[in-house]
Structure 1
């Protein structure tokens, strides 16, 4: 359904864009909804279309604005489909690689495993980052987004709690 043309280009940009938006939003949304599998994808197409229109407002033809917007929406949908295809292909490739990946589990004594499981998750993650991933204190400050002093304190406390858990007598001993 055709709508009134937006205000002439002689007006200020905001007024022209708002008129363009009001005149063509429903048409573009309907267009996108009929072609996208999910409503949120259609909303993204319309948003992208009007973003391009705002950025290139000076080249939007006054007498053919609606047709120009449909062309932009069509390109936005094509870009969206290409991105979806790339994402799907990447996920398939990762699944294939991960299916072939060999996970080496360390042979850890039950007492050590049990003591580690007793720790709070924050302590376990901190100790894993240091022991398994080999992160330094400086790297931990970035990964945990805290100061070096806070990292040293947290690491000291986590190690102390782990040592305490290792010293506790187990029920099976």
Structure 2
């Protein structure tokens, strides 16, 4: 009687090439085929004590490989849908020519640098991170009233430094001059 480990080694040696050929013909990237085969034999290893008889093992492995491939393809479809959603979302954030925004970005960076540390942090937490003044107050350990006052002053100072009328394009300026989300007092 041979041990389950020895039987697995024999099953692997006898079926590896067939499983690799099967997987290679069913995936787009050759490196994916090796992943499919590895996972197929991982299932066989985990179930080595209850593998089917020798005359049924190859067909059983094909069935396992088929299910592994199905999972692989479903995962690929999920990754593709996620990638498409991310591309769509990012396309709204990225302008066609980032060079158009360089002057605006530099002006905003310079203006932000000229604000006090706390005012700059209040402004960026509110506008860039989308936090409510009460949330900014919690982060900075200030009162909500103090945050509202500093936010109002920081916006006014930023408008002085950058100007009220942003040029045509300007993701950065539009974001920095956006109104804060409404909040109940």
TM-score category, normalised to shorter length: 0.5 to 0.7
Runs of 4+ in 1 over 3 A off after TM superposition: 101-106
> Which residue matches 1:109?
110
Tell me, yes or no, if structure 1 residue 15 matches structure 2 residue 16.
no
> Which residue matches 1:55?
46
Tell me, yes or no, if structure 1 residue 89 matches structure 2 residue 81.
yes
Change (3 A) 1:102 1:38: closer
Give the CA RMSD over aligned residues. Answer: 2.5
From 75, 90, 94, give the equivalent of 1:98: 90
Distance 1:65 1:32 in 2: 17
> Which residue matches 2:68?
76
Query: Unaligned stretches of 5+ in structure 1?
Result: 1-9, 113-131, 134-173
Computing the radius of gyration over CA atoms, which structure comes out larger, 1 or 2?
A: 2
8 A contact 2:5–2:48 mirrored in 1: no
| Per-residue deviation, 1:58 | 2.3
- Which structure 2 residues correspond to residues 143-158 of structure 1 after superposition, within 5 A? none
| Per-residue deviation, 1:102 | 7.5
Distance 1:26 1:47 in 2: 12
> Which residue matches 2:177?
none
TM-score normalized by the length of structure 2: 0.51
Q: Deviations over 1:98-155 (max 9, x none)?
A: 2223899570229x7xxxxxxxxxxxxxxxxxxx99xxxxxxxxxxxxxxxxxxxxxx
Q: Deviations over 1:48-77 (max 9, x none)?
A: 000000001123201300000000000111
Query: Unaligned stretches of 5+ in structure 2?
Result: 96-103, 114-127, 130-185
Matched pairs, number: 104
Tell me, yes or no, if structure 1 residue 41 matches structure 2 residue 42.
no
| Per-residue deviation, 1:22 | 0.5
